[in-house]
């Protein structure tokens, strides 16, 4: 799965013959899992139709500031610029490059470019003499100095019939270039992270089990955000309805505490960070019945035995790993969390309390306090779990000095 999965891509199309390639470029972004919004210059419609691009992107194509057929509804360039995670102008003609360089704003595409807050890529396309002209070289140099990312043209047969440099990079190469550029700039690029999530189920008989109310939402959000930051993620997951689809996430399904213990120790030696967010059962039945236990009038007694302490065992084996635990407490929260840090040799712990209305199992929000190994506390307000995941990972990144 591509790093562009779920990303919002703004594709600007200008009036060059290479515009015909943008139909394929839209398809490549869609194939990578991105959303694509196309903005065309009016003149580019002579080379590729809006109907083609809107059909492929499944979004209306914008080319003017307002639409006369829709009672002159304004196409908000500011909203378009803020919507995108990245913008790519392809093909970028010599004319458009010059306008981008000097802030000329005479069409919707240029207005969107000047409003964009996201990374902007540009892929020039023109004849070889135009591409080598000093003014074009100066435009490219200035645009890169502004922070825009240059995707070089390639050599090949041009529309003029000449052969040389100036041909727009192929759609597959443009997407690959952007993927690699994004990965290289992500703070967790090259890091391996193991994350546990969800509950464990401890069998009583073939039908029944001991479990808890953990939904796995917090662990899955951390896994997703870690992958979005470039990490290679091993997600060791207990039974849950949560789903994740990301090229950098390897999901390992387990059921019991013993299975989670074995999986964690399988990957632990190779990871840089281990985040144990799962709600692992503390006890399991001493004996598991081979057949379903029949209901009787008398009470049922089940003898329990402790499960293996996964977090403590990882703490004992810790070498280079940054080890993170979770503590869900109902009383003496801070003292209990600090005790866990010492007993289990943790680098930090994420504390939440069931007494906080925004925290707890199966909720979409959480309220946490992060405590480091020196017992310094950092409190956060109630937030969606996606934002909580970002807070946790930002704290880890700061501690790792990456």
What averages of pLDDT result for each successive group of 10 residues across the chain (402 residues)? 87 96 97 95 96 96 76 72 94 97 94 95 95 96 97 89 90 96 90 97 95 94 94 97 90 97 97 97 94 83 95 96 91 90 96 73 85 94 93 95 68
- Which range marks the domain in which residue 162 is found? 8-185
DSSP string, 182-203: HHHHSTTTT-EEEEEESB--EE
**In whole angstroms, what is the distance from residue 9 CA to residue 89 CA?**
11
On whether residue 129 sits in a domain, the answer given is yes
On whether residue 1 sits in a domain, the answer given is no
On whether residue 46 sits in a domain, the answer given is yes
104 and 207 within one domain: no
pLDDT at 346: 97
On whether residue 78 sits in a domain, the answer given is yes
Domain boundary among 162, 185, 208: 185
pLDDT at 227: 92
On whether residue 2 sits in a domain, the answer given is no
196 and 180 within one domain: no
359 and 339 within one domain: yes
219 and 179 within one domain: no
**In whole angstroms, what is the distance from residue 106 CA to residue 31 CA?**
33
233 and 85 within one domain: no
pLDDT at 6: 86
Beta-bridge mates of residue 370: 350, 378
204 and 131 within one domain: no
- Conformational region of residue 219, where left means phi above 0, alpha means psi within -120 to 50, and beta covers everything else: alpha
173 and 75 within one domain: yes
CATH number at residue 160: 3.40.50.1950
The residue written with tokens 């390897």 in the block is 250
On whether the CB atoms of residues 151 and 140 are closer than 8 A, the answer is no
Q: How many residues does the chain have?
A: 402
Helix orientation angle between 22-31 and 171-185, rounded to the nearest 10 degrees:
40
Q: How far is CA 158 from CA 16, 91, 131, 135, 153, in A?
A: 11, 14, 12, 20, 11
88 and 27 within one domain: yes
The residue written with tokens 């069931």 in the block is 354
Query: Which stretches within 50-170 are classed as H helix?
Result: 50-57, 77-83, 94-102, 108-115, 128-132, 134-145
229 and 344 within one domain: yes
Domain boundary among 161, 185, 209: 185
294 and 154 within one domain: no
**In whole angstroms, what is the distance from residue 62 CA to residue 41 CA?**
9
Q: How far is CA 154 from CA 13, 20, 163, 342, in A?
A: 18, 16, 10, 58
Chain centroid to Cα 399, Å, comes to 21
**In whole angstroms, what is the distance from residue 193 CA to residue 207 CA?**
34
Taking the CA atoms of residue 328, residue 334, residue 338 and residue 344 in that order, the dihedral angle to the nearest 10 degrees is -10
- Conformational region of residue 399, where left means phi above 0, alpha means psi within -120 to 50, and beta covers everything else: alpha
pLDDT at 67: 67
247 and 127 within one domain: no
On whether residue 3 sits in a domain, the answer given is no
On whether residue 314 sits in a domain, the answer given is yes
Choose among 37, 61, 26: nearest CA to 172.
26
On whether the CB atoms of residues 272 and 192 are closer than 8 A, the answer is yes
Domain boundary among 185, 206, 222: 185
pLDDT at 70: 55
CATH number at residue 388: 3.40.50.10300
On whether residue 83 sits in a domain, the answer given is yes
Count of domains forming the chain = 2
Active site residues: 212
201 and 142 within one domain: no
Q: How far is CA 396 from CA 18, 265, 271, 274, in A?
A: 45, 21, 14, 11
For residue 87, the tally of other CB atoms under 10 A from its CB is 27
């Amino acid at each position: 799965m591509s790093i562009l999965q779920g990303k919002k891509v703004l594709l600007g199309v200008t009036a060059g013959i290479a515009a015909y390639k943008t139909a394929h470029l839209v398809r490549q972004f869609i194939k990578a899992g991105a959303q694509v919004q196309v903005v065309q210059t009016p003149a580019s419609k002579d080379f590729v139709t809006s109907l083609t691009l809107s059909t492929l992107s499944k979004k209306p194509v914008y080319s003017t500031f307002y639409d006369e057929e829709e009672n002159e509804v304004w196409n908000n360039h500011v909203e378009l610029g803020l919507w995108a995670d990245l913008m790519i102008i392809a093909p970028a003609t010599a004319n458009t490059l010059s306008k981008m360089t000097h802030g000329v704003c005479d069409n919707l595409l240029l207005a969107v470019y000047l409003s964009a807050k996201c990374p902007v890529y540009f892929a020039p396309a023109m004849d070889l003499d135009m591409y080598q002209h000093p003014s074009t070289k100066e435009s490219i140099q200035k645009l890169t100095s502004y922070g825009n990312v240059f995707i070089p043209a390639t050599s090949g047969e041009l529309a003029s019939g000449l052969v040389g440099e100036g041909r727009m990079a192929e759609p597959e190469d443009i997407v690959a270039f952007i993927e690699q550029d994004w990965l290289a700039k992500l703070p967790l690029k090259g890091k391996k992270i193991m994350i546990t999530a969800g509950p464990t189920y401890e069998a009583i008989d073939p039908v029944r089990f001991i479990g808890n109310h953990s939904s796995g939402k917090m662990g899955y959000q951390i896994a997703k955000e870690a992958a979005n930051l470039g990490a290679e993620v091993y997600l060791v997951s207990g039974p849950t309805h949560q789903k994740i689809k990301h090229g950098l996430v390897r999901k390992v399904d387990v059921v019991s505490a013993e299975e989670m213990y074995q999986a964690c120790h399988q990957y632990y030696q190779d990871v840089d960070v281990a985040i144990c967010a799962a709600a692992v059962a503390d006890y399991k039945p001493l004996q598991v019945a081979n057949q379903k236990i029949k209901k009787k009038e008398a009470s049922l007694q089940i003898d329990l035995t402790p499960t293996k302490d996964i977090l403590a065992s990882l703490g004992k084996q810790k070498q280079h790993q940054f080890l993170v635990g979770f503590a869900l407490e109902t009383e003496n929260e801070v003292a209990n969390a600090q005790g866990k840090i010492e007993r289990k040799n943790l680098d930090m712990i994420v504390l939440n309390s069931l007494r906080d209305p925004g925290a707890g199992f199966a909720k979409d929000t959480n309220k946490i306090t992060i405590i480091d190994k020196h017992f310094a506390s950092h409190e956060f307000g109630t937030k969606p779990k996606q934002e909580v995941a970002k807070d946790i990972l930002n704290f880890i990144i700061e501690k790792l000095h990456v």
